[in-house]
Amino acid sequence: MAKITLDFTKIEKPMKPLHGVGQPPRDGIYDDLFHYLTEAGIPYSRLHDVANHMVDIPEVFPNFDADVNDPASYDFVFTDWLLGSLMKAKCEPYYRLGITIENHADMKAYHTAPPKDFQKWAEICEHIIAHYNHGWANGFHYNITYWEIWNEPDGTVPGFPYKAELWSGTPEQFYELYDVAAKHLKKKFPEIKVGGYAATAFRGLFMTPEEYKGSREELFIKFFEGFFDYIKAHGSPIDFFSWHSYNTVKKMIYLDKWVHEQLEARGYGKIETHINEWNPWHDLRGCARHAAQVMSCMLSMQRGYTDKMMFYDARVGACSYGGLFNPMTFKPFPLYYGFVAFNELYNLGNQAEMVIEGEDLYGISATDGKTKRTMLVNMSLEPQKITFEGVGKFKHAWVIDDDHLLSWTPDITTLKTYQILLVEWE
């Protein structure tokens, strides 16, 4: 029997906005499904891979030789629609400055080459920020906080040309681009947060020495080391470091700690860390097992070091990475209700002490000093009998599984395999 001991008088840390997403549930240029973002309290939508004349620098500024100061050089139409719809849904855009992945760049690449003028590229980014935060060119005052420079530039490595889907330049060229752009943007807009670089992966940490040596994964880590060596030597500003993971919960816990320790050792322990593209076992989407995998990661990161997360992603349609909505009916999958449940804890503000004695159980508790809630996930292959100590009776309880979508349940003493429990205590 698993024992869970709760003490809501002991506050451990603030709740963190970990229930962000990548692309929103957009059907073309229709935002009919954005109400799901509002209802789940989704704090951020990271705008990467949206394409369709939106967000990307080459989409917003299609002629690189045009006048950077002329509003006519910019095409904001569809990006205005997208960001406006997100703001109406009370979901803050998290703007990736760069390009959408070109999955078939081995056949023909369009925008993966480094910008031919790094300073001009930075000035283009400046005007995009001015449009959305300061009203430039009939723009807006959205006060968007996070501006991320590029996505996965470490994907290009010697010997792997077919993987140059986002950056076909050298690591050193990217380091320089980041330096030029970050310095320029922080000088122009000291109030925003600038960072990057959306690291592809750190899978090499789980390889044998023989597998690791000379692998693409080794070069991912060398890119990481080179990036921080470069920006430290050049005094490049960085407010957050972003990285990606498609690992299961136990590996994600390890990576979260590893990233924190690496940054701390390099003198960057105080910057924010964002896991802004992640999705364990995405090919299982739509079932309780996937929901349990994802939520066990989210709850573990609340206990860990990372500051923000954006799940990849909330899109609708025929893509295995769209894990929140059925691509045929557009109705929410079980996982969506996991995000709703997490938001119930997030809104309480503070993580409270919760000690779990049992294998493959993941959970957190939260309180605002009055309301007390607990969320628990069973990742075990067997049902687990559970007992709670330090609290009174259930006031309300809900479960998420293949048959229940955050459905009310009476007092529960056994948590089924891949079942998620949300409890509010008397």
Q: What are the pLDDT digits (tens) for 155-206?
A: 775 566 556 899 999 999 999 999 999 999 999 999 999 999 999 999 999 9
Pair 293, 249: CB distance under 8 Å: yes
Parse the chain into domains and list their residue ranges: 16-349, 353-425
| Block residue for tokens 């369009």 | 110
Q: What are the pLDDT digits (tens) for 357-374?
A: 999 999 999 999 999 999
The phi, psi pair for 188, rounded to 5°, reads: -75, -35
51 pLDDT higher than 90:
no
What pLDDT, on a 0 to 100 scale, did the predictor assign at position 27? 81
Percent of the chain with pLDDT over 70: 98
The amino acid at residue 102 is E
What pLDDT, on a 0 to 100 scale, did the predictor assign at position 214? 85
Mean pLDDT of 328-342: 97
* Beta-ladder partners of 103: none
What pLDDT, on a 0 to 100 scale, did the predictor assign at position 158? 55
DSSP state letter for 370: S
Task: Read off the pLDDT band of 328 (50, 70, 90).
Answer: very high
Q: Which residues contact 164 (CB under 8 A, 6 or more apart)?
A: 105, 106, 109, 112, 155, 156
* Among 71, 48, 51, residue whose Cα is nearest residue 59: 51
Q: What are the pLDDT digits (tens) for 17-40?
A: 999 999 999 988 899 999 999 999
Pair 345, 14: CB distance under 8 Å: no
Q: What are the pLDDT digits (tens) for 229-244?
A: 999 999 999 999 999 9
Percent of the chain with pLDDT over 90: 92
Q: Which residues contact 391 (CB under 8 A, 6 or more apart)?
A: 6, 8, 372, 374, 425
* Among 263, 294, 268, 265, residue whose Cα is nearest residue 280: 294
Task: Determine the Cα–Cα distance for residues 243 and 382; give it in Å rounded to an integer.
Answer: 33
CATH architecture of 353-425: Sandwich (2.60)
Pair 49, 14: CB distance under 8 Å: no
| Block residue for tokens 């330090």 | 390
What pLDDT, on a 0 to 100 scale, did the predictor assign at position 408? 96
What pLDDT, on a 0 to 100 scale, did the predictor assign at position 161? 52
The amino acid at residue 219 is L
What pLDDT, on a 0 to 100 scale, did the predictor assign at position 9? 98
Range name among 125-129, 161-165, 253-257 with the lowest pLDDT average: 161-165
Q: Output the average pLDDT for the chain.
A: 96
Convert 338-354 to b/e letters by CB count within 10 Å (16 or more is b). bbbbbbbbbebebbbeb
The phi, psi pair for 380, rounded to 5°, reads: -75, 155
Task: Determine the Cα–Cα distance for residues 212 and 219; give it in Å rounded to an integer.
Answer: 9
Q: What are the pLDDT digits (tens) for 139-155?
A: 999 999 999 999 999 97
Of residues 255 and 161, the one with the higher pLDDT is: 255
DSSP state letter for 111: S
Provide CATH code, domain 16-349. 3.20.20.80
What pLDDT, on a 0 to 100 scale, did the predictor assign at position 162? 54
The amino acid at residue 254 is Y
For the entire predicted model, the pTM comes to 0.96
Task: Determine the Cα–Cα distance for residues 416 and 266; give it in Å rounded to an integer.
Answer: 44
362: helix, coil or strand? Answer: strand
What pLDDT, on a 0 to 100 scale, did the predictor assign at position 333? 97
